[in-house]
Structure 1
Amino acid sequence: MYRFLLTPRWLGLHLLVLVLIPAFVFLGRWQYGRFEEKSAAGDLITANLSSASVPLTTLDRVGAGTVPNTVKYRSVTVDGRYDATHELVVRRRTQNSVLGFYVITPLVTSQGTVLVNRGWVKAGATADAPPEVPPPPTGDVTVTGRLRPTETEDSSGIRNRGGLPPGQVLLINTADIGKTLPYPLFGGFIELTGQQPQAATAPDPVPRPDVSEGGGLNLAYAVQWWLFIGVAVGGWALLMRREAHDLRAAAEDPAREGAPTP
């Protein structure tokens, strides 16, 4: 009765199922791995955000290249003076679904200079028009903010290019920006959360990072791929059972018109 399982049609179906099962296992494991990575990264960022502020020099130094992701979003403090003459704006930054610029102002300290992302401003009339940027405070300031590693094309997903208007960049890359400045830079940069004294007007602050998802979507995809294994095996068994039932019925009832195609 089950000799039909050795026909070319059924051998092809067996092969397809045997290929799909390990493929679904692999895809599920890959999505679960992404879930674990994002969950671990989210836990680390949450812990860093809740940590007490420390002096910048305890986590970063001049000429370090960058800071490790293990200290990403740690709160740091540093004293210095803003150098508005070397201020830059970072193109193609969206906030509240509006396209604009980040404002990057060097803060000169006794240990070196650190780039400070003072916040976001709305774009001008055209992409190349300079935006309106509130000036930084003059004199000595104490800056508090989230420490960030230098941006790269891989970490940001933004493709860097030249030929931009003066004073504009696409990435907050300390190595590249440092080549245009007359002083050495710390490896990372600071995302401003507070300063004393406060400025009369200031760019919109950069929002706190959202880590609520934590890879939940990847976990759902992993479960989905593994459920597909049951669907494939169950469908395979159901088709075999139905084919056997039809052949048995045809054998018991010779008057039945036709038999299922093997």
Structure 2
Amino acid sequence: MTPRPRASGVLFVVVTLAALVGVAITASLGRWQLGRAAEKLAYEQTLTSRAALPALDGASLAKADAAGAAEDLRHRTVELEGLWLPEHTIYLDNRQMQGRPGFFVITPLQLRGTSAVVLVQRGWVPRNFQDRTQVPDVVTPAGTVRVKGRVAAPPSRLYEFSAGDSAQGSSRIRQNLDLAAFRAATQLPLLDLSVVQLGGPSEGMQRDWPVVSSGVDKHYGYAFQWFGLCGLIALLYVWFQIVRRFIRPRRERSS
């Protein structure tokens, strides 16, 4: 039994509208992913150009942070002089380097010639699996030190089941470090940024930091998937709603 012409016409309109909506949505999502990729590329180029600028000293870093330009300093190189404040050293747990679990060592640095203090991500140390509460041994030199590094955001956060830093009390081993809470607890005039220390292994720590990547390849991959789905919808529509409509009558006449 063949469908009535009216019902067939309504079905054709519904399928056509659905296909047009599907093509429009998937094409729009593909273009959006390409736009995100372009934004990431532009940001990556900005970071690269910043890294090529002359290194900042502590006074310039503190001045720019006070002016609210912390974000504009991201990835700038720095050469700082100051005093370590080892009594406030924090060990961020569950951090990996070269696939091994351990701690990121975070120590505040009192910048020379200023009242400002900056958190320095000094390096990575392995975990003691026999005693998870044991703090690794690291060397923290006394007196004025020179630190070479790059400006970064405060240490990234990992998911945690507890209520955050407040649930960990004054423990030196923490899952995360909230900058505002740490500033309030220590009463230190911390900058709204951190510094990732660069260089080879020293003072009991490794510094094989991962390369900063914008993740633009991910957006290209998503765009390819959306455009592929868009093309598939269009191809299926053309085949079932146009090509087969012409093939079927010819077959029926030939039979």
**Would you say same fold, with TM above 0.5?**
yes
Which deviates the most, 216-225 or 88-97? Answer: 216-225
Offset from partner CA, 1:189-235 (integer Å, 9 cap, x none): 1111159xx96x33111515333x65133124324423433332233
In structure 1, what is the Cα distance between the partners aligned to 2:7 and 2:243? 11
Q: Which position in structure 1 is the counterpart of 2:121? A: 117
1: CA distance between counterparts of 2:247 and 2:6?
Answer: 12
SS in 1 for 2:167: coil
* Aligned position for 2:218: 217
1:52 aligns with 2:54: yes
Q: Distance in 2 between matches of 1:102 and 1:139?
A: 23
User: Higher helix proportion, which one?
Assistant: 2
Displacement of 1:21 in angstroms is 1.1
Partner of 1:89: 91
Cα distance between partner residues in 2 of 1:4 and 1:243 = 16
Sequence identity (%): 22
- Shifted more, 38-47 versus 65-74: the winner is 65-74
The one-letter code sitting in structure 1 at the alignment partner of 2:198 is T
Corresponding residue to 1:176 among 176, 181, 190? 181
Give the distance between the partners of 1:120 and 1:98, measured in 2 at CA: 10
**Residues 88 and 167, structure 1, Cα contact 8 Å, conserved in 2:** yes
Distance in 2 separating the partners of 1:176 and 1:214: 30
Contact 1:27/1:225 (CA < 8 Å) preserved in 2?
yes
Q: Normalised by the size of structure 2, how large is the TM-score?
A: 0.81
- AA of the residue aligned to 2:135: P
Question: What pairs with 1:96-175 in structure 2 (closer than 5 Å)?
Answer: 96-109=98-111, 110-111=113-114, 112-125=116-129, 128-151=132-155, 156=157, 158=159, 161=164, 162-164=166-168, 166-175=171-180
Report the more deviating stretch, 58-67 or 120-129.
58-67
Match of 1:10 in 2: 12
- Scaled by the length of structure 1, the TM-score of the pair is 0.79
Q: Distance in 2 between matches of 1:192 and 1:177?
A: 20
- Deviations 1:85-127 (Å, cap 9, x if unpaired)? 2211112211111111111112123312221111011122268
SS in 2 for 1:77: strand
Alpha-carbon separation, structure 1, partners of 2:6 and 2:244: 12
Q: Any unmatched runs of 5+ in structure 1?
A: 257-262
Structure 2: how far apart are the matches of 1:190 and 1:25? 41
CA contact (8 A) 2:70 2:192 kept: no
Counterpart of 2:80 in structure 1 is 78
Q: RMSD of aligned C-alpha atoms?
A: 3.0
Q: Which amino acid in structure 2 is aligned with residue 183 of structure 1?
A: L
- The match for 2:40 is 38
Give the corresponding residue for 2:194: 189
The answer (yes or no) to whether the contact 1:67–1:149 under 8 Å persists in 2 is: no
Say whether the 8 Å CA contact 2:64–2:70 is kept in structure 1. Answer: no
Alpha-carbon distance in 1 for matches of 2:199, 2:225: 44
1:26 counterpart = 2:28: yes
Distance 2:142 2:18 in 1: 71
* In structure 1, distance between residues paired with 2:7 and 2:251: 17
Amino acid across the alignment from 1:209 = V
